[in-house]
Amino acid sequence: MPRRLLINAACLTLPLLSDALSLTGLLKRSRNRARGRRVLEDFSTPWQLDIRKGSTGVLYAEEAGAQKPVNWAFLSCGRVAHDYANALRCVDGAKPYVVATRSADDLPRAEAFRDRHGFEKAVGTYSEALLDPNVDVVYLSSLHSARVEHVTAILECGKHCVVEKPLACNGADGRRLVELARSKNVFMMEGMWTRCFPAVEHARRLINDGTIGAVTAVISDFGFDAADSGVYPTDMNDPSTGDPIYFSKLGGSALLWA
C-alpha cells in the first residue's frame, strides 16, 4: 500500500487582534483543529496549507492502515535548526531520527546536536541521510546560497521536505524547485511560519468576510536585532570574517534573511 502522509502543522498562538481573540480561545481553536486529519495522496498539483480550511494539525505517516511516527532528517545543525528541533517536540507523531552535516569533519557538531535534541543518530554527509529509507521528511536549514543544490538533491531522492525561508534566492530557481517537486509527486514547503499564526488566520478572515470593509492601505513595520545574527565582517570581501547575513554571495541581506 503506498505511503500516505497526514500533515498538520503545530500553530503558535498570538492574542494580538481583538479582545475576542483571547489566548484561551486561540488555544482551544488550535486544539480543535489538531484533532482533525487530512490525508494527502497526490502532490502533483498545488495544495494550500491554509489553517482556515482545517488542513493543518498533527503529522503522521500511515502504512497498511496503521499510524506510525514520522521520521525527520535534519540537514545542517545551525542555530535555526535548534529552534526547529525544539518546536518539533510539540508535534504529535514527529520523531527526530537523523541529523546530518555537510562533511565528516563536522560530524562532532551533528553528534552534539543529536544528543541535545534526542535524535536517533548523526551522520557526516547529507547524502547518507537522504539515502536512508527510514527517512520520511527532511528539514533543511543550510546556507541560502546552497539551497537550490540541496533542495534538488532532496527532491531527487523522493523525500518530502520543509525548507527554511527563503526556498531559493530568486524566483526562477524557486519555480524550478516547485516544478521538480510536482514531477516527483512529493510535498515541499517553505518554512514561512507566520502563515500558521491563528492571529494571521483571523486577520485574513476579517478581510475576506468584509468585516472591516475594503482594505485601502496596509502599514507594516518589521525589525530585528541584527547583533543576534553574529559578527559584523571586518572584510566585506571575505565571508569568513563575519556572519553570512552580511554577504550577498551567500544569500544574505535583510530581505532574504529576516
Q: Which residue has the higher pLDDT, 21 or 66?
A: 66
Q: Are the C-beta atoms of 13 and 23 separated by less than 8 Å?
A: yes
User: Phi, psi at residue 9, to the nearest 5°?
Assistant: -95, 135
Task: Give the model's pLDDT for residue 149.
Answer: 95
Task: Give the model's pLDDT for residue 63.
Answer: 52
- Global confidence as pTM: 0.71
Q: Which residue has the higher pLDDT, 40 or 200?
A: 200
Q: Could you give the maximum distance between any two Cα atoms of the chain, in Å?
A: 58
Task: Give the model's pLDDT for residue 101.
Answer: 95
pLDDT, averaged across the chain: 76
For the cut 90, the answer to whether the pLDDT of residue 173 exceeds it is: yes
| Assigned C-alpha cell, 74 | 535534519
Using DSSP bridges, classify how beta strands 94-100 and 160-163 pair: parallel, antiparallel or unpaired.
Answer: unpaired
Alpha-helical regions (H) of the chain: 23-34, 79-88, 107-117, 126-130, 147-156, 171-184, 198-208, 254-257
At 137, which helix (H) or strand (E)?
A: strand 137-140
What whole-number distance in Å separates Cα of residue 140 and Cα of residue 147? 8
Q: Mind listing the pLDDT tens digit for each residue in 3-36?
A: 333 333 332 222 222 222 333 343 344 344 444 4
In the chain, DSSP finds a helix count (H) and a strand count (E) of 8, 10
Q: What angle do CA 116, 135, 68 make, to 5 degrees?
A: 90
Task: Give the model's pLDDT for residue 62.
Answer: 54
- Coil/strand/helix, residue 111: helix
For the cut 60, the answer to whether the pLDDT of residue 195 exceeds it is: yes
Task: Give the model's pLDDT for residue 179.
Answer: 95
What whole-number distance in Å separates Cα of residue 104 and Cα of residue 115? 17
Q: Which residue has the higher pLDDT, 245 or 122?
A: 122
For the cut 90, the answer to whether the pLDDT of residue 215 exceeds it is: no
Q: Mind listing the pLDDT tens digit for each residue in 76-98?
A: 998 889 999 998 888 888 999 99
For the cut 60, the answer to whether the pLDDT of residue 247 exceeds it is: yes
Task: Give the model's pLDDT for residue 221.
Answer: 81
Residue 122 pairs in a beta bridge with 99
For the cut 90, the answer to whether the pLDDT of residue 114 exceeds it is: yes
Task: Give the model's pLDDT for residue 191.
Answer: 87
Question: Of 132-136, 177-181, 219-223, 248-252, which gets the smallest average pLDDT?
Answer: 248-252
Q: Which residue has the higher pLDDT, 104 or 57?
A: 104
